[in-house]
Amino acid sequence: MGLVRWWAANAFPPSTAILDLGCGSGVPIAQALAGDGFAVWGIDASPSLLSAYRANLPNMPARCEPVQHSDLFARRFDGVVAIGLIFLLSEAEQDTLLAKVAHALKPDGRFLFSAPRQRCEWHDTLTGRESRSLGAEAYAARMAEHGLVLVGGLTDEGQNYYYDARKSA
């Protein structure tokens, strides 16, 4: 969560609109971003988690729907975060989501998401779902196809890897 706060603080001025995909209950990421003065919008497919999000962040817009089927509020954002989400989607759904995020970002907008650097598959113990990372080269190439440029990679204290991308102007 500290890494996400650092990223947002260094990428945007306060009050910037940031979309949190797979926001869950809003704790800790959306809550921390909102506490830092950002306008956070959340999307999550779980009714119970979205109910908790609405209780934790009553003044922040939220929708209960799968991100891969969402219109992402049919608006543009300065930033989008997807922490612990993209690798839960199929390869085709990941590509669809990258295209949607690129469309939802304003020019020079930023996208931060977590996934392993290497291409791999595993059984996610938190969700019980099969998970897959396409790997750094594939993510960079697919993002480029949608007008997103990989500007860097970050690693948090738990050694989780984050991709930091910018939408072309």
User: Chain-wide mean pLDDT for the chain?
Assistant: 96
Report strand pairing: 105-114 vs 161-167. antiparallel
Q: Residue 93 contacts by C-beta under 8 Å, 6 or more apart in sequence? A: 68
What is the per-residue pLDDT for 1?
A: 73
Distances 158 to 2, 10, 27, 84, 114 between C-alpha atoms, Å: 11, 21, 18, 13, 12
Q: What is the pTM of this model?
A: 0.96
**Could you read off the pLDDT of 64-90 as tens digits, one per residue?**
999 999 999 999 999 999 999 999 999
Share of the chain above pLDDT 70, in %: 100
d(CA 97, CA 89): 9
Torsion angle in degrees (nearest 10) through CA of 104, 68, 110, 148: -90
Buried b (16+ CB within 10 A) or exposed e, 102-132: bebbeeebbbbbbbbeeeeeeeeeeeeeebb
Structural domains of the chain, ranges and CATH numbers in brackets: 2-167 (3.40.50.150)
Buried b (16+ CB within 10 A) or exposed e, 27-51: ebbbbbbbebebbbbbbbbeeebbe
**Could you read off the pLDDT of 17-39 as tens digits, one per residue?**
999 999 999 999 999 999 999 99
Say if residue 126's pLDDT is above 90.
no
What is the per-residue pLDDT for 124?
A: 84
What is the per-residue pLDDT for 18?
A: 98
- Give phi and psi for 15, each to the nearest 5: 80, 0
* Half-sphere CA count of 62, side-chain side, radius 13 A: 26
The rounded Cα 149 to chain-centroid distance in angstroms is: 15
What is the per-residue pLDDT for 83?
A: 97
Give yes or no for a contact between 42 and 63, defined as CB atoms under 8 angstroms apart: yes
